[in-house]
Amino acid sequence: MSNDEIAGQLTEVLTTAGWSGFRIEGVQRLSAGTNRETFRVAIAGAAPSTHETARSTGLILQRSRLGADPRLSSCLREGQLLDVLVDPAVKAPSVVAMGDAESPIGRDFVITKAIDGETIARRVLRDPDLAQARDVGVRDCAHALAAIHRTDVDAVAGFLPEVEDSVDVQQHLWSDLRRYEPVLCYAFRWLAENRPPETGRTLVHGDFRLGNLIFDAQGLAAVLDWELAHVGDPALDLGWFCATPWRFGSPASAGGLGSRQELLDAYAAAGGQPIDLGRLLWWEVVANLRWGVICAQMGFAAPFAGSGALELAVVGRRFAEAEYDTLTAIGHADRWRRTGTLEEFAAPHRRLDSLESPGQQHGLSELVADYLASLGERVSGRDRWQLRIARNALAIAQREHALSDHIADRAANRWASLRVSGDEEWCGLIERSPLRDVDTDALWSLVADHLAVDHPGYGQASSSKGS
């Protein structure tokens, strides 16, 4: 479908919503995810006064992809939720129109006012023009979370799902993949034996992190991407915000912007329920494990993804990072429980030095790598991004080929020392053994092997900034 056709559909929808004397000047696709497509719409001319902001900054159209499962991502359901979120402290976008597949759009959709600002996480964390926003970022995010969590649950219970047990959800998703990964087996055991008491159920955003937030020069401007919203434990949102992938290389533990304690203090000051550091650390383990499950799902889906197969396959290889981050998060939580401090815990980086990545490769694969690098100098935008992915995939394949025999020997030695025949039997041993008897040194050795192929050096320069 062309942008002109989309503009015609939008004109009909907006006219029905009470708009008149306007014209659509342009439609720009912003993204196309697994379940939905997003477009920015430039508007000129008159419109109802309630849509004044939309006239000056434009609109955002989100529509479900053809064939998307509405249970996973419903734009109409998101529109219903945004319509409820009238508290300005929530910083939710304002809804202009929404509808179902019987509408002129032909699928369920939501149209919101566009909000100016920056969403790209690395720019939020580094752009000099956003220095003030970073100074107040943790506070602003904590206040938004507190506002989200005090939303009347009865107002959303009719159309949002309720998640009774987030860990159980991840366990089922993981079981469906039929993979035997000892680190995740250990993490599920650890979570089950260290679960904190739940203190209440609220509206939960479900994906509150950098990348789904808009910042302007003053601070947090909007909270986006509500498709995973549900009723559940509010600590999930804080733990997900603190998960290692969403720090984007920053040492600051709370979203790359500040410390965990700053987040908890600001959240409580804004009326959020008391959440202690131990509970937050438990939810960080959940968050890093959840990212591992997501990576594994993407890797599984890659062969069926057509033109997106390579990108999904490379994201799937980030599973090794999630293993490292999950074990590290467990280490933080255990250290806090024993000593009341996070400062002394550090992942055993020395174990990750035991494998050397292959040196300069000469031959066909290196020629291909050089060719891809030269292409990257002649393209821009998404094409350049795709070339970076291709170069990364090629480097992974080179390391996998060079290290395969050595890693196989190391795996055989691990299994022999554990008296198991492979990772499947190792998972069974973890599930049967007392948690204190699990050989975590062997788990770190396994992670070292995975990272040597998929991301050499990962984690060796990282550290958490405060508690």
- Same-domain status, 250 and 338: no
- Among the candidates 239, 257, 275, a domain finishes at 275
Burial class (CB in 10 A: 0-12, 13-18, 19+), 222: buried
- Same-domain status, 302 and 428: yes
Q: Helix, strand, or coil here: 221? A: strand
Name every residue whose Cβ is closer than 8 Å to that of residue 353 and which is 6 or more positions away in sequence.
none
Global confidence as pTM: 0.90
Cβ–Cβ under 8 Å, residues 325 and 185: no
Find residue 1's DSSP bridge partners. Answer: none
Q: Give the CATH number of the domain where residue 130 resides.
A: 3.90.1200.10
Q: Give the CATH number of the domain where residue 48 resides.
A: 3.30.200.20
- Same-domain status, 64 and 193: no
The range of the structural domain enclosing residue 91 comes to: 3-113
Residue 170 CB neighbours (<10 A)? 20
What Cα–Cα distance (Å) separates residue 95 from each residue in 47, 75, 86, 205, 302? 14, 11, 10, 17, 34
Residue 346: the pLDDT is 64
In tens digits, what is the pLDDT along the chain, a chain of 467 residues? Answer: 788 889 999 999 999 988 888 889 899 988 756 678 899 999 887 555 554 443 345 999 999 877 655 555 689 999 999 999 999 999 999 999 999 888 999 889 999 999 999 999 999 999 999 999 999 999 999 999 999 999 999 999 999 999 999 999 999 999 999 999 999 999 999 999 999 998 889 999 999 999 999 999 999 999 999 999 999 999 999 999 999 999 999 999 999 999 999 999 999 999 999 999 999 999 999 999 999 999 999 999 888 877 778 888 999 999 999 999 999 999 999 999 888 887 655 666 544 445 555 555 556 566 666 666 766 666 666 677 788 888 889 889 989 988 999 999 999 999 999 999 999 999 999 999 999 999 999 999 999 999 999 999 898 755 555 56
- Residue 32 is encoded by which pair of tokens? 């196309």
Residue 54: the pLDDT is 37
Residue 464: the pLDDT is 53
Whose CA is closest to 79, among 103, 112, 126, 54? 112
Lookup result for tokens 């804080």: 238
- Same-domain status, 244 and 344: no
Q: Are strands 109-113 and 213-216 parallel, antiparallel or unpaired?
A: unpaired
Residue 78: the pLDDT is 93
- Same-domain status, 92 and 227: no
- Among the candidates 275, 306, 339, a domain finishes at 275
- Same-domain status, 42 and 91: yes
Residue 94: the pLDDT is 94
Residue 176 CB neighbours (<10 A)? 11
- Same-domain status, 33 and 58: yes
373 Rama class: left (phi>0) / alpha (psi -120 to 50) / beta: alpha
- Same-domain status, 302 and 382: yes
- Same-domain status, 88 and 235: no
- Among the candidates 93, 113, 133, a domain finishes at 113
Element holding 213 (H helix, E strand): strand 213-216
Element holding 444 (H helix, E strand): helix 440-454
Q: Where are the alpha helices (DSSP H) in 377-438?
A: 381-418, 423-432
- Same-domain status, 87 and 179: no
- Same-domain status, 74 and 151: no
Q: Helix, strand, or coil here: 158? A: coil
Our count of domains for the chain comes to: 3
Name every residue whose Cβ is closer than 8 Å to that of residue 6 and which is 6 or more positions away in sequence.
27, 39, 61
Residue 22: the pLDDT is 87
- Same-domain status, 90 and 205: no
- The sheet that has 36-45: what strands, in order across it? 22-32, 36-45, 59-64, 109-113, 95-99
- Residue 324 is encoded by which pair of tokens? 């490292």
